Amino acid sequence: MTDNKMQTDRIQEEIIEEFSVFDEWLDKYDYLIELAGELPAIDPAHRTEQYLIQGCQSRVWVDARYEDGKVWFSADSDAIITKGIIALLIRVLNGRTPTQVLDTDLYFIDRIGLRENLSPTRSNGLVAMIKQMRLFAMAFASKEEK
């Protein structure tokens, strides 16, 4: 097992453990709202159409920068639960190489019951957020190869 896989698995296991203390989904939603408050603010210049994710019911902006071979994400949303979800994705994928972002199996999503407890539109939004983060990674990976 690579160091990166161990690291991302450790973070995902932490998330699973954090959510396991809640029996009710309402409590898990409250925790997502709490996590949303911890998400660092995105640069206001990146709260534009260019950074808006298509396929989300709420407005979600995601940006990424490539620094020292690693991808660093920032994001924001006008929906507090969606903002909590993107905070979790960033927690797992931030500071990874483009290849690691592309290869990470985000198993925590199913293990905490997130996918099955989201409305269909929010579930589509989750898929769109992951897709956008991976598109950034693909773009950075292709730059790396040149």
Residue 62's alpha-carbon distances to 1, 26, 33, 58, in angstroms, are: 30, 26, 18, 13
Find out whether 64 and 71 touch, Cβ atoms under 8 Å.
yes
Q: Which of 15, 56, 62, 129 is catalytic?
A: 56
Helix boundaries (H) for the chain: 3-20, 25-38, 80-93, 98-103, 108-111, 120-145
94 CB burial (10 A radius; 0-12, 13-18, 19+): middle
**Residue type present at position 134:** R
- Examine the residue annotation and report whether 56 is marked as an active-site residue of this protein: yes
Q: Which residues are catalytic?
A: 56
